[in-house]
Structure 1
Amino acid sequence: MAIEWKGIFPAFTTKFTAADELDLPLFGKNLQAQIAAGIDGVILGGSLGEASVITTAEKETLTKYAVEQVAGKIPVVMNIAEGATAEAIRQAKLAAAWGAKGLMLLPPMRYKSDERETAEYFKAVAASTELPIMIYNNPVDYKVEVTLAIFDQLQAYSNIQAVKESTRDVSNVTRMISRFGDRFSLLCGVDTLAMEEMILGANGWVGGLVCAFPAETVAIYKLTKAGRIAEALAIYRWFLPLLELDLHPKLVQYIKLAEQQAGLGSELVRAPRLALVGEERTRILKVIDSAIATRPVLPDYLSL
């Protein structure tokens, strides 16, 4: 399956049981709800998927299960966030063997690579696989910026096709389009900037709160791209207090709690993360439950 890098790609959470094992039935329930809502692909093993605490064996289980569940309807994309180039290459080979149709690729973890090192890392992984790749550009959280100069070099690799744009500078969408035209598909990776970046020309949205609210997320994308801005904006304004949960260091706990309240997940996380307690949990629940109580009626966005 070739990937059309546009639309809504949830950064999927990893569901756990109370015994700290993978909860595949709950994972599958959410995934089917996402497909029914009209998502365009799913990303596994990212930051929101608690990648740093899941094993390679668990990643294999999740990827194979997701591939089976989607049954060819949408592509399964596996995230790679490794410290060593050799391990990133190994993970790319495993992803292909497990049935993933694409990769999301971060710069090297735990070492702040310079421009030359970052470019060579991406080139090495791209040269090792035929899978299409989306580069994750998030200098705020990961301290390495994928610059225009780096993307200029990456143009030579036909399987580097898309960018998860998380610089938190909406002007970067315009910079990328002005420099490269449509060479790279751009997907917003910051929930609170998604509509703004799509209006500026971004092709889609790698979402976090979509895990709990898939229909509303897809509706905003479809309405925006159809030019029905006022309708999209009304949903987006309702959504913003929820979307802001994506910006916090505890985004995993916050979004998993939202999934639980929406009936699509549970708040169980893997240590060292801990489920929310006390005033913090009460405060976040108020944001989530208030939004659910005022959930907008959506137009027939799937027909757009």
Structure 2
Amino acid sequence: MSSIEWKGIFPAITTKFTAADELDLPLFERNLQAQLAAGIDGIVLGGSLGEASTLTTAEKETLTKFTVEKVAGKIPVVLNIAEGSTKEAIKQANLAQEWGAQGLMLLPPMRYKTDEQETAIWFKTIAAATSLPIMVYNNPVDYKIEVTLDIFAQLQEFPNIQAVKESTRDVSNVTRLVNRFGDRFKILCGVDTLALEELMLGAHGWVGGLVAAFPAETVAVYRLAKAGRMKEALEIYRWFLPLLELDLHPKLVQYIKLAEAATGLGSEHVRAPRLTLTGAEREKVLHVIHTALAQRPALPDYLSL
């Protein structure tokens, strides 16, 4: 079984589309290269921000193979699995391995709200069916199913369940996980507006959203925090917060893609039923982005940390 060093910055990268609603691989690569240059540590494909629910299996295959080829072993490529049935989740996990992905981000079942036993068995069954390392995505706010500490206690026996994307919105959960399991599960913050707080509490990394448009600032916050340079990390983070709050909205895809367009790293094209922003809503989000760009901080040499 392969392993991933689940630490650092893992962008939940957006999927780029053309005006004709096809995958825009040249634009995707432009963003990917900016992420690599900024010093990211891994990448998550086809997450919520990647418009997973609208991608075909063929598109996931294209994206995964393309990304694996372009990163050329520099960082691990992780594919998100968000399915309604255990059978389909196992199929997607096996395809991910065939396509060259090095790890999986695994959500609880979609659509049906499983109880504690069903949730535990879901994760165990899929983990037993793949040798790929798994990061459990724990987001009861958006997906209505909590992966409790008691469930994690059961998941310990699976060596390929290695990490958790912590999105409960309760920063204390980082401490609860550490107190109960020590270093058994690597913890990556999944909520942009709580990232520095959770890194200070011992989280190992950050699965970011606004990193899609601001890769250098995101990596800088992480590296400065881990180097103990909290004053500098906090200064960047305070500037960053109005942007990070764009990650907490049902239209996070449109908001973050607008930010990517503003920084030259993407376009506003989204896949229906999502619609691109218009009118007052678009102006409001642009105001947040342009205000931040006008005050964008100079970064220290964080890559040498």
1:252 is paired with a residue of what secondary structure?
A: helix
Partner of 1:20: 21
Instruction: Output the amino acid matched with 2:171.
Output: V
Partner of 2:150: 149
2:211 is paired with a residue of what secondary structure?
A: helix
| Alpha-carbon offset, residue 293 of structure 1 | 1.2
Kept after mapping to 1: 8 A contact 2:257/2:268: yes
For the residues of structure 1 that align with 2:289 and 2:65, how far apart are their CA atoms?
A: 32
Matched, 1:271 2:272: yes
Matched, 1:283 2:284: yes
For the residues of structure 2 that align with 1:259 and 1:293, how far apart are their CA atoms?
A: 16
Instruction: Output the amino acid matched with 2:200.
Output: I
1:168 is paired with a residue of what secondary structure?
A: coil
Q: Which string of whole-angstrom CA distances, capped at 9 and with x for unpartnered residues, describes residues 216-236 of structure 1?
A: 000000000000000000000
Partner of 1:186: 187
Q: Which string of whole-angstrom CA distances, capped at 9 and with x for unpartnered residues, describes residues 9-42 of structure 1?
A: 0001000000000000000000010000000000
Instruction: Output the amino acid matched with 2:257.
Output: K
Partner of 2:125: 124
Partner of 2:163: 162
Matched, 1:209 2:197: no
1:182 is paired with a residue of what secondary structure?
A: coil
Q: Which string of whole-angstrom CA distances, capped at 9 and with x for unpartnered residues, describes residues 96-142 of structure 1?
A: 00000000000000000000000000001000011000000000000
When the two structures are superposed, what TM-score results if normalisation uses the length of structure 2?
A: 0.99
Partner of 2:92: 91
Instruction: Output the amino acid matched with 2:117.
Output: R
1:146 is paired with a residue of what secondary structure?
A: coil
Instruction: Output the amino acid matched with 1:255.
Output: I
2:146 is paired with a residue of what secondary structure?
A: coil
Kept after mapping to 1: 8 A contact 2:46/2:60: yes
Matched, 1:57 2:48: no
For the residues of structure 2 that align with 1:268 and 1:18, how far apart are their CA atoms?
A: 6
1:187 is paired with a residue of what secondary structure?
A: strand
2:271 is paired with a residue of what secondary structure?
A: coil
Partner of 1:115: 116
For the residues of structure 2 that align with 1:100 and 1:32, how far apart are their CA atoms?
A: 18
Instruction: Output the amino acid matched with 1:72.
Output: G
Partner of 1:303: 304
For the residues of structure 2 that align with 1:15 and 1:289, how far apart are their CA atoms?
A: 22
1:69 is paired with a residue of what secondary structure?
A: helix
The count of aligned residue pairs is 304
1:8 is paired with a residue of what secondary structure?
A: strand
For the residues of structure 2 that align with 1:97 and 1:158, how far apart are their CA atoms?
A: 20
1:264 is paired with a residue of what secondary structure?
A: coil
For the residues of structure 2 that align with 1:86 and 1:11, how far apart are their CA atoms?
A: 25
1:83 is paired with a residue of what secondary structure?
A: coil
2:250 is paired with a residue of what secondary structure?
A: coil
For the residues of structure 2 that align with 1:227 and 1:72, how far apart are their CA atoms?
A: 29
For the residues of structure 1 that align with 2:269 and 2:154, how far apart are their CA atoms?
A: 42
- Unaligned stretches of 5+ residues in structure 2: none
1:130 is paired with a residue of what secondary structure?
A: coil
| Alpha-carbon offset, residue 210 of structure 1 | 0.1
For the residues of structure 1 that align with 2:268 and 2:28, how far apart are their CA atoms?
A: 13
For the residues of structure 1 that align with 2:81 and 2:3, how far apart are their CA atoms?
A: 19
Kept after mapping to 1: 8 A contact 2:3/2:160: no
Matched, 1:242 2:243: yes
Kept after mapping to 1: 8 A contact 2:103/2:134: yes
When the two structures are superposed, what TM-score results if normalisation uses the length of structure 1?
A: 1.00
Instruction: Output the amino acid matched with 1:160.
Output: I
For the residues of structure 2 that align with 1:164 and 1:215, how far apart are their CA atoms?
A: 21
- Unaligned stretches of 5+ residues in structure 1: none
For the residues of structure 1 that align with 2:267 and 2:184, how far apart are their CA atoms?
A: 39
Partner of 1:221: 222
For the residues of structure 2 that align with 1:65 and 1:201, how far apart are their CA atoms?
A: 33
Partner of 2:31: 30
1:237 is paired with a residue of what secondary structure?
A: helix
Kept after mapping to 1: 8 A contact 2:13/2:49: yes
Partner of 2:260: 259
2:9 is paired with a residue of what secondary structure?
A: strand
Instruction: Give the % identical residues.
Output: 78
| Alpha-carbon offset, residue 2 of structure 1 | 3.0
